[in-house]
Amino acid sequence: MRILLIHTGGTIGMVRTDSGFAPRQGIVEGAIQALMKTGDITADVTIQTLDPLIDSALATPTDWIRVANCIFEARDDHDAFVVTHGTDTLAYTAGALCLALPGLRKPVIVTGAMLPLTVDRTDGHRNLCDAFRAAEAGAPGIWVQFAGRLLHGARVRKSHSSSMDAFEAAPCSDEPLRAAPEPGIAALASHKVGVFSITPDPCTELLEFAAETCDGIILRCYGSGTAPDTSGLRAALGKARAREVPVIAVSQCSEGGIKLGTYAAGQVLRDNDVIDGRDMTPEMACVKMHFGLSQSREYMPRRAFIGDSQCGELTIKTVG
């Protein structure tokens, strides 16, 4: 089996420096060669290393497309793909690959490590071996392999800052890929996307500024989708609606999602055409906003793309 390993950077390939851990070329590449010699990896592996390597805390949508292009350009020469990535924004990149590679019915396994391959007790070797086994198993779509679990790429989130078992994903029966008649690469342009968390007595001036300057807004709401119905919030959301700025609401809770309309306290959101994010993760909502803004210049097609499930990121139905 022919597998392309795309090493993007991240903790797995870092070394200790005077200013802390930093990416270095050759670490992951050396580990792969060693695992092939011991028989822990049996596939025919080609390694492609991004230059420069990315510290995932510095990753941008441009980097998402860099990785997607590597996969798309090599799709005919390889049976599967493994992507090594930093854990801070791994969930964003996994979600982005789900949207960026419509019609690619091959396994893409994203993995990384909480401790570098260069230190004792690293989890990097296990995650690499598991990722290659998952790639060879052949389930199409974008998956995250971490700490012995294979997770849905459009529903994954980093849930712990230091545990080796750092990722979670809500179950989903839909494949983590975007349906299309043949493989393609999605458009992704640069956009200003703002994130605002609802709090008691929120500073709605910040949200109003976002409504005046951003191209899209992620609204992190209470529980099932509630927010304080204040004149400030109504004014800010009204400005976003007037400017045709898509706003999507997601829950601050890590499980359960939202259903706009469940409580009267969420009526302010429905009155201002806020998109019901249901059980989408905040990471995926951010990624999807960038792609949705890139799909069309028109407001309604953008709303439709963001509000409809594209690759299993939404499972809960809307209310009413």
Known catalytic residues are 11
Q: What is the C-alpha to C-alpha distance for residues 155 and 287, in angstroms, rounded to an integer?
A: 12
Please name the amino acid found at residue 130: D
Q: What is the DSSP string of 235-292?
A: HHHHHHHHTT--EEEEESSSSS---TTSSGGGHHHHHTT-EE-TT--HHHHHHHHHHH
Cα separation, 13 vs 59, whole angstroms: 16
Determine contact, residues 208/236, Cβ cutoff 8 Å.
yes
Residue 27: which residues within 8 A CB-CB, separation 6 or more? Answer: 12, 13, 14, 15, 116, 117, 118
3-state secondary structure 49-99: EEEEEECHHHCCHHHHHHHHHHHHHCCCCCCEEEEECCCCCHHHHHHHHHH
Helix (H, G, I), strand (E, B), or coil: what is residue 296? coil
